[in-house]
Amino acid sequence: MIELTRFDGTRFYVNVEFIEFVETTPDTVVSLIDHKKLLVRESAADVVQRIADYHRQIAQRAPSRIVAMQRWNEMRHDADEQDAETGDAD
What does the pLDDT read at residue 23? 97
Its pTM surpasses 0.75: no
* Confidence check: pLDDT of 14 > 90: yes
d(CA 67, CA 88): 28
d(CA 47, CA 80): 47
Per-residue H/E/C for the chain: CEEEEECCCCEEEECHHHEEEEEECCCEEEEECCCCEEEECCCHHHHHHHHHHHHHHHHHHHHHHHHHHHHHHHHHHHHHHHHHHHCCCC
pLDDT digits 0-9 by tens, 32-76: 999 999 999 999 999 999 999 999 888 877 666 666 777 777 888
Summarize the confidence of residues 8-19 as an average pLDDT: 97
